Structure 1
């Protein structure tokens, strides 16, 4: 099974951390065993405590930590009690300090209570040294109670911070994964919108021209034949545009869209007036071309327009048509999608309906101006 890059990154960080700790603690543990052991039996017991700590560290990045946590805690706790009551080894608490500090932050709940319980146990176990006759009470309290308890608190606190660090890395990676998923979703929506622009527009135009050709076939065969040739050319152009879209090569030409819209409106018997006050840059022209194409399709589908006025200015484009019913307007999902796209690119798309007329205005902040209704 393929791992996500974020999961692999966290795993590598865990492994680096583990090897860094093992590289420091393993030699130190071995040195303490050699220094503190008076007999081979003491060496075996102290080695068991060190080994328990090293096993917990080694299993820390893996999901199997919970399987070894309890045995390691039992062994390291027994080693600490042995060091307090039998051998008098003040460093025997190191094993339980390591195992406890690694295990507690990964508990599903009651981690604070567990941390307090571990500290109390280490201190209480160290206090049992008082049952052994000693000359220096202060030394016992310091060496067997305060120092071990303090080390446990510090090491556990450090591991809590360590866990927060890895949790933060996980959250950042999840955030990046979500951003990637959103980017993919946005790209799919963009592709679907562009495909709708191409296919939907073409199908409505083909429907219009085929109906016109059907009417002319008996009265004006030459004109009907011309309409059929245009339908064939339009379908071929749509196939080419769909292929270009699939390979991310599609670009709309605003001038071509203006001419196409003008021809379509005239073919539908709609008077059209085009004013070109200024030219816009290529990127803005592509977006404005999409707005013009979608608006043209909407007018042909939803309005009984008699005239259309198209104004191209430095700020953007404005399309006004009549023949709009005063009833609730149709839900123009294509324009809603284009409004979001315009906003993403720093533009603004305005749609208004008033007195039987419909206005669609796409503009950019650097020179926005829209014709009034």
Structure 2
């Protein structure tokens, strides 16, 4: 069996597998081909892959020779067409949101696994790329905000007087939000956090933040730990609570997303206008529409002295550790579908089935099947 690892597009610094992970895969009796320069931006030059036992090849050679192709971002549909018909494609395709790409995979009878579809179960935690990258993003978002904020994070007692701590509001207390809370607290800020999930309150409080509570949130045990869409009444009360807290905050970090849907609007334009000049909003949901009304993907917008940063691929700004975490998630998943050096797709396994976008033209993941049938 041959596994190919592609170089990511311009603007992406991560790589699907670092040399240490490649060494692991080769120990299973699998051959690995790596595109020239694939790990360069993750500080893993070609000689390190060769030392690990991989062969360096061109992109076209990898597409044509591999039984499985690994990426992070999806390649072009033209490149998918150059793969062997029976080859398996593994990456993070945002399959629920990127419906055109998903439909094309199905229509062209491809077999593809999209890692953001990994079920959020205890058994699948070691394969959860969303959680891994959310950890990176939550940490880096706070550092970005600290760099932009025109004042200190911690409280200082100086001969020139006292400096009060920065006030940070975190919207969404999933993995990214909790990491943002922890990092903000380490830097000495006073932190408030909001989440529609009641279970998040205990975690927020355990990290030393204060929980902003809005009663009456709808929850769905079948949502796999994700937030779900709320009714109009709750949304109105939520916006008022956020507006009140935001107008007193120096920094807002938004992390709220709903898989396969546009990100919920949490910070209205009036809220931005009510914030103090010099305040900063870091919107981690920019790629799916943004949690702030003024967010522009991959851009910084300044309104009334408030900077709104629509981040794009923040995980890629820490390419070494992000790639290491990503690769470990991939290795744990590959162990499920590679046995004795050969591909073995067991769709009776809930993780394998739940992560599979399609197999030979048929939708496999229940979430994908539901999407294409509606």
Which structure has the higher relative contact order (CA within 8 Å, separation 6+)?
Answer: 2
Specify which structure has the higher proportion of strand. 2
Return the TM-score normalized by structure 2: 0.24
Larger radius of gyration: 1
